[in-house]
Amino acid sequence: MALLPRLAALALATLATLSIAQQPATIHVDLSHSVGPWKPITNWYGYDELNYTTTPHGRQLLTELGKTSQLPVYIRAHHLFTTGDGKPALKWSSTNIYTLDAQGHPVYDFKIIDHTFDTWLAAGVRPMVELGFMPEALASGTNPYYLAYPHTIEGSVQSPPKDYAAWGELCRALVAHLVTRYGRDRVATWYFEVWNEPNIPYWHGTEAEYLKLYDYAVAGVRSALPTARVGGPATTSPRDKKAANYLDAFLKHIANDKSAANGQPIPLDFITFHAKGSPTLIHDSADSTHVRMGLSKELTDADRGFALIASYPQFQQLPIILSEADPEGCAACSAKENPANGYRNGPLYAAYTAAVIKGLFQLQDRYNVNLLGMVSWSFEFEDRDYFEGFRTLATNGVDKPVLNVFRMAGQLSGDRVVATSTAATSLDDLLHTGAPKPEIDAIATNTHSGADILVWNYQDDDLPNAAAMPMDVDITGFPASIHNVKLETLTIDATHSNSFTAWKSMGSPQHPTPAQYQQLQASGQLQPLDAPHTVTVDHGHITIPATLPAQATTLYRLSW
């Protein structure tokens, strides 16, 4: 008989546990409490293969990127100075801008450059001009100039110049040509960054040689356009001590030294470094695996970099551009090469990105620095298999789910306002452990005529049977004159704004029919959860009840 009371107690305890588990998370948004201006940090994209700019799907995607925001969208790409025939390969492109004639005099060829910049501007995006890599005629390295992927960065294309004055003149000639072709005022709105990741084999010279490279580059740029925005050093993850020391040495050089090019103070208008996560493949059993993201690593990079910059009072308010900010470090490494990259096709990539955006704003506020942009190093690869698992925004002209989180972020404007959640993970915990359990959190913005709340259900572990989470979005602080608002709900999950699910439901065709292709393109757009409708504001307050699937991202748009 004693067993029955124990079973009854166990049953009651189980019911209580289930009841607690089903208690909705509460997200509280206070529209009247600003925490700072919203900045469009997501309006930045980049890619290794410059020559994909002018391909059919490249042009198509660039036009879509230009429409993700009403504010300027910037594009960064490698290989602007590389010698070659203009044909792309993995981690390789070329423009043939600089060669020498029979007498050893420079010959500048801007044909591919012009085609590239014309395409960017026609798509409504602006260049973030990365000054690299080394033309063959200037390269001092002894390795072959070009080596095929995965050995591209071992080629002498990454070597220091034989002649630094000639390098500086190349930078001057490019900017002078851009000013002539596009106008001084337009080019002055662009950003000129010197090289890429000089602290690893993307640069075959010493630290001192990079600093000299920077001096000559910015002297050349500024001689052609004194108002040009110049910066660097585009170093890798500062959570690595050597990378942090390299960034520190660069800042010390700017603060204390004179230019090797002209003996003048060294210009610096913005600071760049990179922040990267590190997904891993977890083996659940002999025949079962799942991906575990590395959110804490990407945020730790930002944390260390911001702290270092904040230690220099003269640089603390300079714009910071994370000129690559991604879940890992190799866009051209497919999921076939590394199964951990399988996160790239589905909604997990979008939810991860939403969580990173909030974390970066929190870190900016913590260190009182000026974050301007986070460059998503992701574009498209022409003539590859559908959903091959590259880090891309689209596949053969079909937008992937991650592009829709950038579309969502592009809608935010005005002031950032308080947004807290009972199921959020603290910033310190995100830095130390990431998100080992589901976290529901939000970013919110407010203008005089509306508000936007971006909500996500993110977990580092991409578990196949993860549960949806109930939540209440509690919004207060409406102006007293507002009695009704229009509510529009847009979402990214397994069945919305998700071309990957649509493609799999078709049987994963590598040669979709015209009707299938049209369906895939439509499924890749940002989709509403339901029809827009009117909600009554009760004493400055509304509540939106919802259930958010695992790894889903939702945007609530309120207008009045």
pLDDT tens digits for 155-186?
A: 999 999 999 999 999 999 999 999 999 999 99
Q: Measuring CA to CA, how many Å separate 219 from each of 46, 228, 404?
A: 25, 11, 40
pLDDT tens digits for 495-530?
A: 999 999 999 999 999 999 999 999 999 999 999 999
Instruction: Among 4-8, 132-136, 236-240, 401-405, name the one with the lowest average pLDDT.
Output: 4-8
pLDDT tens digits for 414-430?
A: 999 999 999 999 999 99
Distance CA 528, CA 555 (A): 9
Residue 89: which residues within 8 A CB-CB, separation 6 or more?
A: 49, 148, 149
Q: What is the mean pLDDT of the chain?
A: 95
Cis peptide before 233 (omega within 30 of 0): yes
- CB atoms inside a 10 Å sphere around CB 20: 8
pLDDT tens digits for 313-372?
A: 999 999 999 999 999 999 999 998 999 999 999 999 999 999 999 999 999 999 999 999
pLDDT band, residue 22 (cuts 50/70/90): low
Is 80 exceeded by the pLDDT of residue 11?
A: no
Distance CA 186, CA 494 (A): 42
Amino acid in position 79: H
Which residues are paired to 467 by β-bridges?
none
Amino acid in position 117: F
pLDDT at 19: 39
Is 60 exceeded by the pLDDT of residue 8?
A: no
Average pLDDT over residues 265-283: 97
pLDDT band, residue 285 (cuts 50/70/90): confident
Average pLDDT over residues 376-389: 96
> Which runs of consecutive H residues, i.e. helices, occur in 333-444?
347-367, 401-409, 427-433
pLDDT at 287: 84
- CB atoms inside a 10 Å sphere around CB 483: 11
Average pLDDT over residues 303-308: 98
Q: Measuring CA to CA, how many Å separate 135 from each of 46, 91, 100, 152, 298?
A: 21, 16, 10, 14, 32
- The terminus-to-terminus CA distance of the chain in angstroms comes to 65
Instruction: Among 16-25, 78-87, 396-405, name the one with the lowest average pLDDT.
Output: 16-25
Output the CA torsion sign for 56, 58, 64, 70: negative
Name the residue ranges covered by the structural domains of the chain. 23-34+413-559, 40-409
Distance CA 377, CA 323 (A): 8
Would the CATH topology of 23-34+413-559 be identical to that of 40-409? no
pLDDT tens digits for 441-498?
A: 999 999 999 999 999 999 999 998 899 999 999 999 999 999 999 999 999 999 999 9
The topology under which CATH files domain 23-34+413-559 is: Immunoglobulin-like (2.60.40)
Residue 245: which residues within 8 A CB-CB, separation 6 or more?
A: none
pLDDT at 3: 37
Query: How is domain 40-409 classified at the architecture level of CATH?
Result: Alpha-Beta Barrel (3.20)
pTM of the model: 0.94
Q: Catalogue the E-assigned strands of 16-133.
A: 25-37, 44-47, 74-77, 98-100, 106-108, 126-131
Question: What does the chain come to in residues?
Answer: 560
Is 60 exceeded by the pLDDT of residue 245?
A: yes
> Which runs of consecutive H residues, i.e. helices, occur in 334-377?
347-367
Provide the percentage of residues in the chain whose pLDDT is more than 90.
Answer: 94
If DSSP codes are grouped into helix, strand and coil, which group holds residue 467?
coil
If DSSP codes are grouped into helix, strand and coil, which group holds residue 403?
helix
Burial of 13 (0-12, 13-18, 19+ CB in 10 A): exposed
